[in-house]
A and B are shown apart, each in its own frame.
Chain A
Amino acid sequence: MGGTPTDLKLIDENGRRLDGRLPDEMRPLKIEAGVLSRADGSAYVEWGLNKVMAAVYGPRECHPRHLQNPERALVQCNYNMASFSVDDRKRPGPDRRSHEISKIISEALTHVVFTEYFPRTSIDVYIEVLQANAGTRCAGLTAASVALADAGVPMRDLVASCAAGKVADTVVVDLAKEEDNFGQADIPLGYVPRTGEIVLLQMDGDLTSDQFNKGISMAMEGCKKVYEVQRDALKRRYEVRSAGTELEVLGAAPAKEGM
């Protein structure tokens, strides 16, 4: 029922998934804030095998001028996948999918940013997917909101994001690549933990309403975990700094701390 047929046994007899996770278990998540020195704010996210970098510039003068809004700032997002981020080389450049993801992520972020503080400006968010393994829009949104906070942009809250889906008739959280490819459904969710608002919701595949509700609540739980990691990443950035050891850590490979 649904999904691309496969020989893979996506869930084994013990209820474990391909990578050994239980249905409600997430992939390991690691976030680091302030990784790029030339951007106003930045973040790097490693989520399972996903590697995503986000950079924020602004608020700055809005170009092209006709997009300026005299009452509020514009949150412009650009999601891009590197050509080497997937198995078969991705043809570089914007396509239908990246346009769509850019649009929904910028809408999700617009909802939490105090755009009315910066009329006529734009806040530019660039999301680069360096390595993809399903769930890059969630990883991208997670990284982007950390980068926005790192840039000092006033926000109502951080946006956390996590997906749920259906694999072998089981509702699971945070799909990995094989589960996404051969599973039956995928629901990426963007969530504002403080207010419980949903700022991004998509669905690919078929679910009964019970499965859907279960998926949403699992994804929300996932988002709450993501939020903790986001908060730690932002706080750690300045705690590391005040200890005066930041350059070694930031200059070399991203710190191997965190989850």
Chain B
Amino acid sequence: MDDSGSKETAREIVVPGELLSTKKMRAGPGTFVEGGKIYAAQLGIKNVRPDGVSVVPLAGQYIPMRDDLVVGKIIDIGPSNWLVDINSPYPAPLHVNEVPWRVEFGETSKFMNVGDIVLLKIVDVSETKRITVSMQDSGLRKLTGGMVVEVSPSKVPRLIGRNGSMIQMLKNETGCRIYVGQNGRIWIDGDLDNIVKAINAIKMIEEEAHSLGLTEKVKKFLEQNTGKGA
């Protein structure tokens, strides 16, 4: 029900350079075309759809994309900007014009300091991967309290689930407030017991990201642990 391929075909793991298709079809993410044939570019799971073929990666760094929601950490302060680590090869400067407050020149540290966790949106990624982030959109803000856990960015789609089914269930079952950044950082706030439970569930999802029927498994896991407290 929530597996990302068709149910009949077994999940085939492909390695870089493996031939995916000789037919003319759309070459999706994680693939490349050479001499009219489609090959896998990454280690991942082959995903064949009627309109094309793609590879769902099993590992990899987070590469920023426009309109992604990310959980960042302030690592440096300038007089008119903050430097945010968004768990990618590229640092993201957050300019004072992109925050919801009016900040005078040189007063950036009055608002946010090194180590603070922020929820941001990637506004733009240039050709040379220069990144612009913003905190001016509904829901974007500085995150106070709570905990941050990291998972491999390639597992984020699985954690969110189809139309957010997985993360919605996690929120309902644990009663925690959870933000999942596309960069693999997850911010969780709630009762300590519930946070621990949510983290365990997240680790389980990461561990078994490519197994079938995961939503059911996680649901069972969460129900078993309900009421135990510790």
User: A: which residues have CB within 8 A of B?
Assistant: 40-41, 58-61, 70-71, 112, 114, 117-121, 149-158, 192-194, 230-231, 234-235, 238-239, 241-242, 244
B56 CB to closest chain A CB (Å) equals 11
Contact of B63 (CB < 8 Å), options: A70, A118, A150, A156: A118
Size class of B's contact patch?
Answer: 20 to 34
Which residues of chain B (203-221) have a CB below 8 Å from chain A?
A: 207-208, 210-211
The A contact surface, by secondary structure, is mixed
Q: Are A149 and B61 in contact (CB under 8 A)?
A: no
Q: Are B41 and A239 in contact (CB under 8 A)?
A: no
Q: Are B15 and A154 in contact (CB under 8 A)?
A: no
CB contacts (< 8 Å) of A58 on chain B: these are 61, 89
A63 CB to closest chain B CB (Å) equals 11
CB contacts (< 8 Å) of B89 on chain A: these are 58-61, 118, 120-121
Instruction: List 30 A-B residue pairs with CB atoms under 8 Å apart, sorted by A's residue number.
Output: A58-B61, A59-B61, A59-B89, A60-B61, A61-B90, A61-B91, A71-B128, A112-B16, A114-B32, A117-B63, A118-B63, A120-B129, A121-B89, A149-B16, A150-B43, A150-B59, A151-B59, A152-B42, A152-B154, A154-B30, A154-B32, A155-B41, A156-B16, A156-B32, A157-B17, A194-B39, A231-B15, A231-B18, A239-B13, A242-B208
Q: Are B128 and A155 in contact (CB under 8 A)?
A: no
Beyond known contacts A60-B61, A112-B17, A114-B41: 12 more, CB 8 A cutoff = A58-B89, A59-B61, A60-B89, A119-B127, A121-B90, A149-B15, A152-B44, A155-B42, A156-B16, A156-B41, A238-B58, A239-B13
Closest 7 CB pairs of A and B: A152-B60, A157-B17, A152-B59, A155-B16, A154-B41, A121-B89, A59-B89
Instruction: Tell whether B190 is near chain A: CB-to-CB under 8 Å.
Output: no
CB contacts (< 8 Å) of A117 on chain B: these are 63
Cα A206 to Cα B65 in complex, Å, equals 53
Q: Give the residue among A118, A151, A154, A235 with the most B Cβ atoms within 10 A.
A: A154
Instruction: Tell whether B57 is near chain A: CB-to-CB under 8 Å.
Output: yes
Chain A residue nearest to B18 (CB atoms) is A231
The B contact surface, by secondary structure, is loop
Q: Are A149 and B43 in contact (CB under 8 A)?
A: yes
Chain B residue nearest to A242 (CB atoms) is B211
Q: Are A235 and B61 in contact (CB under 8 A)?
A: no
Chain A residue nearest to B126 (CB atoms) is A119
Q: Are A152 and B58 in contact (CB under 8 A)?
A: yes
Cα A153 to Cα B16 in complex, Å, equals 9
B 14-46 to A, binary, CB cutoff 8 A, 1 in contact else 0 = 011110000000000010101000010111100
- Contact A154 to B16, CB < 8 A, known contacts A61-B89, A120-B129, A149-B43: yes
Q: Give the residue among B44, B59, B90, B91 with the most A Cβ atoms within 10 A.
A: B59
CB contacts (< 8 Å) of B15 on chain A: these are 149, 158, 230-231, 234-235
- Contact A152 to B210, CB < 8 A, known contacts A70-B128, A158-B17, A234-B15: no
Cα A123 to Cα B58 in complex, Å, equals 18
B91 CB to closest chain A CB (Å) equals 7
CB contacts (< 8 Å) of B61 on chain A: these are 40, 58-60, 152
CB contacts (< 8 Å) of B91 on chain A: these are 61
A232 CB to closest chain B CB (Å) equals 9
Q: Are A151 and B58 in contact (CB under 8 A)?
A: no
Q: Are A234 and B43 in contact (CB under 8 A)?
A: yes
Cα A234 to Cα B17 in complex, Å, equals 13
Cα A258 to Cα B44 in complex, Å, equals 21
CB contacts (< 8 Å) of B59 on chain A: these are 40-41, 150-152
Chain B residue nearest to A230 (CB atoms) is B15
Cα A118 to Cα B128 in complex, Å, equals 8
Cα A112 to Cα B17 in complex, Å, equals 9
Q: Are A151 and B60 in contact (CB under 8 A)?
A: yes
CB contacts (< 8 Å) of A244 on chain B: these are 208
Cα A242 to Cα B3 in complex, Å, equals 15
Contact of B17 (CB < 8 Å), options: A60, A155, A238, A241: A155
Cα A152 to Cα B209 in complex, Å, equals 15
Chain B residue nearest to A227 (CB atoms) is B17
Q: Give the residue among B15, B57, B211 with the most A Cβ atoms within 10 A.
A: B15
B 49-92 to A, binary, CB cutoff 8 A, 1 in contact else 0 = 00000000111110100000000000000000000000001110
Cα A121 to Cα B15 in complex, Å, equals 23
Cα A112 to Cα B15 in complex, Å, equals 13
Cα A74 to Cα B211 in complex, Å, equals 35
A258 CB to closest chain B CB (Å) equals 15
